[in-house]
Structure formats: C-alpha cells, structure tokens
A and B are shown apart, each in its own frame.
Chain A
Amino acid sequence: QSVLTQPPSASGTPGQRVTVSCSGGSSNIGSNTVNWYQQLPGTAPKLLIYTNNQRPSGVPDRFSGSKSGTSASLAISGLQSEDEADYHCAAWDDSLNGPVFGGGTKLTVL
C-alpha cells in the first residue's frame, strides 16, 4: 500500500491532453515539494518533473506539474505514442523521515 495515491491507469489518444493525479497528506505533499518520474517498460525511472513544476534539461515542455494543498498533478499535452509509460509521484515525508511514492499510473496511448 503506497503512501501517495495515484490512479492505476490513464489513457488518451495522440494529440490529446491527459492528467495524472497524486494525493497525499500534510506530512508529505502538504509540506514538501513533489517530483515525478517516467518509467518506460523494462527501464529504470527517469526524473520528469522536480520541485512541483520544474523540468530537467531535455524534458519537453509538453510535460508540466502542479501542486495544491495535499495533491499534485502531472499534465501531458500533445500526447505521443512514446509517452506510453508508468508515471510515479514522490515527495519527502516528514513523519517517516524519507521519501514516499505513489503506486504508479500506467499511461496508455490509444
């Protein structure tokens, strides 16, 4: 059972905009920044968004992140077939004194 809650799946057609939600509590998202990771099939996670809404160098601006209260969202616009992957949210948890993750959302491009 993951500390952060994500929907297990999401889907969209090419060109569409999709969002993935991540819900937590006051000890994690409510008081710390959120990071997002993209995990392509059979590979290690890759940093996609850090500090709520910052993109590392090389990540397309089609990917964006936001946070409000104890929830966060990842938005992907102009959906492409290569975006088909698992997406994980993460945040530091002050009570557990370590990072916590969501269970991951499997994005399917129809």
Chain B
Amino acid sequence: QVQVVQSGAEVKKPGASVKVSCKASGNIFTNYNIYWVRQAPGQGLEWMGIINPSGGSTNYAQKFQGRVTLTRDTSTGTVYMELRSLRSDDTAVYYCAREGTATTAFDIWGQGTMVTVSS
C-alpha cells in the first residue's frame, strides 16, 4: 500500500526553526520530484519549493527564498523541509507531495503536519 508519513505536529515560538520530515514507503519517491505545499487555516494551497530525485537540485518560491531549505535522504526515502525565522503567519498545515510522471499534478500527498507559531 502506498504510504507517505509526515512527522508530527509542532509548536514553535516566533524566530525559531522547524524541520518537517516526509517518509515514503518502498521506492515511491525514488525517481520523482517532491514538492512542499502549505495551507494556512481557512486558506488555499501555497507552493513553497521543489526538490529533484537526487536531492541535488532545489527551487524555492520567491516568498520563501532564504528561509526554507529542502533536503532528501535517498537511502531512506525521506524528504525534509526546514523553515527558519518563523512568524505567526507561518502557522499552517505543511504537506509534501509527489509530482506525477509526465504531468505537473501531485498524485501522492503526505497526511500533513500542523505547525503552530505562537509566543
């Protein structure tokens, strides 16, 4: 069964950093680009960044440039998203998602990780 499991909910203070993990079963992430998308409470989806299959190439949305880093451990099939200098408006559910073959669609999603930023 295809399964993607993200790390658990986090509560952080403003200015802190958070690192969220996304682990896939089997090799379902092996040859695919992985995206991170977030959703603030009651809001739409927002793209943060993409990491290529080898982890050697990343691209970040301009809004998050300098604050976000995506990495991946190909040996374990785990992808990581670190967001620094957290602010209250970073409170959101963070999702990892696989980009399908020959399409820009995200065909497999993690269950989401709630990150709350509060003093």
Contact = CB atoms under 8 A, between A and B. Distances in A.
Interface of A: 2, 32-33, 35, 37, 43-47, 50-51, 56, 88, 90-92, 96-104
B111 A50 contact: no
Nearest to A51: B103
A43 B47 CA distance: 18
Interface in B71-92: none
A35 B106 CA distance: 9
A4 to B, nearest CB: 9
B104 A33 contact: yes
Contacts of B45: 37, 45, 88, 90, 101, 104
Interface centre among B45, B61, B95, B110 (most CB of A within 10 A): B45
A42 to B, nearest CB: 9
Contacts of A91: 104
Interface of B: 35, 37, 43-47, 50, 59, 61-62, 95, 97, 100, 103-107, 109-112
A46 B45 CA distance: 12
A104 B109 CA distance: 17
Contacts of A46: 109
Nearest to B112: A44
B47 A99 contact: yes
Interchain residue pairs A-B with the least CB separation, the first 8: A50-B105, A103-B44, A35-B105, A101-B45, A44-B109, A104-B44, A92-B104, A2-B44
A7 to B, nearest CB: 12
Given A35-B105, A50-B103, A100-B47, A44 B59 contact: no
B35 A99 contact: yes
Nearest to A45: B109
Nearest to A6: B44
B105 A51 contact: yes
Nearest to B100: A50
B44 A88 contact: yes
A97 B105 CA distance: 15
Contacts of A2: 44
7 contacts: A44-B111, A56-B107, A90-B45, A91-B104, A96-B61, A99-B47, A101-B45
